[in-house]
Amino acid sequence: MRISLGTDHAGFLYKEAIKKMLTEAGHTVHDFGTFSTDAVDYPDFIRPAALAVARGEFDRGIVLGGSGNGEAMTANRIIGVRCALCWTLETAELARKHNDSNVLSIGARMISEDLALAIVRRWLEVPFEGGRHVQRLWKMDHPE
């Protein structure tokens, strides 16, 4: 799978761990940054990572920050992105099954690194259920 990554300074260390796990699992990963723990503005890195998913350059995207909230909000401003802020295995599973989430947001200051890695694994392996959810997804991008 082709996966884009984007983070601010708060999520940098988790991004590095996630990138290593994904690469070792055989995924193609593009890191949009940031590349250190120096303070930055998260939209500068989240927006390019999410746009690349919306354009079809990547199958999925993972964005990180302190809480994951601003990152999810930034990503969800882009038509075609369905970014889910996940903090448990269940939220990750439901984001895929019911919402066909194509971008995952994680708050690095909210959960352990081990849980973050487990969430990523679950989010990648769970398929979209389709069915009644398809109409709902269409309405997200076509509110009129």
Give catalytic residues, as residue numbers: 71, 98
Instruction: Give the span between the Cα atoms of 4 and 39, in whole angstroms.
Output: 21
Instruction: Give the span between the Cα atoms of 84 and 34, in whole angstroms.
Output: 20
Burial of 44: CB neighbours in 10 Å, binned 0-12, 13-18, 19+: middle
Which residue, 123, 101, 103, 106, is CA-closest to 4? Answer: 103
Give the 3-state secondary structure of residue 42. Answer: coil
CA dihedral defined by 99, 41, 30, 10, rounded to 10 degrees? -80
